[in-house]
Amino acid sequence: MPAAAGAWPPPQPVAPPPGRRPGRLTRLRERWRNASLKTSFMVYMLVFLVAALVLSTATGSLFGGLQNQTTADAYEVAGLYLYDKDADALVPARTVEMSVDGSSAFVQTMRNGIESIARENLSDDTNVMDASDYALYSGSVDSGSDEASGKEGLYPDASIANLPAYDAWARDRFDAWLAENPDSPYASFFATGTASGDGSPTEGLMTSAVGYYLNTPPSPGAQALNTLFGLLSFLLFPLWFGVCIFAAARRFYRKRLAPGLTVLDDAAAKIADQDLDFTVSYDRGNELGRLARSFETMRASLAESQRALWRTAEERKRLNAAFAHDLRTPLTILKGKIELLEARVRSGDASPEQMQASFESLSAQVGRLERYVAAMSGLQKLEDRVAEPAVQPFDAVAEAVEDIGRALCRRTGEAEGQTNGSDATHGTERAERVAFALYVSARCDADRPTLAVDRSLVEEVAENLVGNAARFAAVRVEARLDVRDGFLVLAVEDDGPGFSPEALAHGCAPFFSETPSKDHFGLGLNIATLLCDKHGGNLELGNRPEGGARATARFAMNFPAVDKR
């Protein structure tokens, strides 16, 4: 059915104004939404058990009413009656207490609009029971006399058929008992003019000490229906409870378990298919919500591991490609030298000096290949290296970085001097004008925080960064130490030309170099990057605003004592 005009977009729930607390109903709904599985299951069961109890009570009352309706004809005449011999009818009666011991007489009354029932209108299977209890009076004679026994033998049971004769016999028996018990309350009650005479409470009403209790058994059909309704009333009690428990369990599963299990099942299927490009989200605060968050943590960890493996594989591919590319130069030189030497030997015009020069060139290229292979081997060994942080004094790490910086700057200056000119004076000038300085942040200088780092790894990174900076510095190399956000930060700067855009983008790649050299293979920054990554940090390249390059290494410190003495 198409939506009505103006129905899109759907109305959004109105958020409470800032600073206003959500209403009680909203908070209650939120608490119920994030309730634990145990609590929600108990609430569901309680609600449905109450519903089962209400339904059981209602159906019990319903079937009880139906039972009463099916047996209404049986209870229509049930009650106390007196026999009126003149009318040959049964008259409704009520009891009148005669003494404290429970003896009673019967007085005519009207019940359910019935004044009397003709005996001929009652079925023969109507039950008749003598309700007389005058013999219970404490002054009564022995009811087991010969006369009484004989009469009891004549009329052991009353029935509709023999009721006139039985009533006459019962009244004669009462008169005999009354004559033998003149002091009983019955004597005064039934004295002439007392029981039904003028001024008596029972004036004009039939009274007697002989009464009957009548009840009519229901018909076979009514009895069958009565039994059926009673059985249904009994069976529906556990049936309602079973149905309600099933309904509670089903609703609990659909509302509380199924959504979370569906999310987890989908996540498990995607993880099994190695598809980690998704997010496990189930915004509930119950056990399944916590499990979903654990799944998300696991997925993120697997995704990061997968990305790390991919980066490692790509890095290895680039490394192998760079290694194969850079091997071509010395191999080409070796091949050319060998071919030239072979040609000269065959022609016989090779002088001893030419032979010696060729041998020296071949030896130099072989040495370069050996250094190249050693560098490659050392780079691959870094993949198996594990950072082992330990508590280190800040001053010890700072002194180690300063010693490394001064030594490398001095050595680099001397080497550059020897390379750029044969005179010793230039080498001395280069050594004197490449200076190194270490600076410590004001906070670290004041607090001297304890560090949790792998000192050998930090020193190796410092050696690579300072060595690279010293090669390009004009006058000065500076290093700065600081502790920020749980990381040891080492920044190395120089006053050289700085990084080119290509170097900023690819400077940390293996064998990248803008100034190829027989002694430098472009691995320094790549090694520093790998070591920082092993220590949970990273390496960033940049340029100073005033000119020169800056390399910033960060080392994660996971010990609880970081930034404290």
DSSP string, 528-547: HHHHHHHTT-EEEEEE-TTS
What is d(CA 238, CA 245) in angstroms, rounded to the nearest whole number?
A: 10
Q: Is the pTM of this model over 0.85?
A: no
* Helix or strand (DSSP H, E) at 439: strand 435-440
Give start and end residues of each alpha helix (H) in 348-420: 352-381, 394-420
Q: Where are the domains of the chain?
A: 22-71+218-275, 76-217, 296-384, 387-556
Half-sphere exposure of 389 (CA within 13 A, CB side): 20
Q: Interior CA angle at 518 toward 516 and 519, to 5°?
A: 100
Which residues, in sequence order, are bridge partners of residue 554?
Answer: 489, 538
User: Tens digits of per-residue pLDDT, 427-451?
Assistant: 334 445 678 999 999 999 899 999 9
What is d(CA 391, CA 22) in angstroms, rounded to the nearest whole number?
A: 49
Domains 296-384 and 387-556 share a fold: no
For the sheet containing 549-556, what is the strand order?
435-440, 476-484, 487-494, 549-556, 538-543
- At 33, the pLDDT band (50, 70, 90 cuts) reads confident
Give the range among 129-133, 167-171, 414-418 with minimum mean pLDDT.
Answer: 414-418
Question: How do 212-215 and 79-84 pair as beta strands?
Answer: antiparallel
User: Tens digits of per-residue pLDDT, 399-429?
Assistant: 999 998 888 888 765 655 555 544 433 333 4
pLDDT at 439: 93
Q: Does the structural domain 387-556 have CATH classification 3.40.630.70? A: no
Give the range among 58-67, 78-87, 218-227 with minimum mean pLDDT.
Answer: 218-227
pLDDT at 307 over 70: yes
Question: How do 89-97 and 104-108 pair as beta strands?
Answer: antiparallel
pLDDT at 401: 92
pLDDT at 151 over 60: no
CATH of domain 296-384: 1.10.287
- At 19, the pLDDT band (50, 70, 90 cuts) reads low
Task: Show the tokens assigned to 391.
Answer: 């508590």
- Taking residue 297's Cβ as centre, other Cβ atoms within 10 Å add up to 11
What is d(CA 279, CA 295) in angstroms, rounded to the nearest whole number?
A: 9
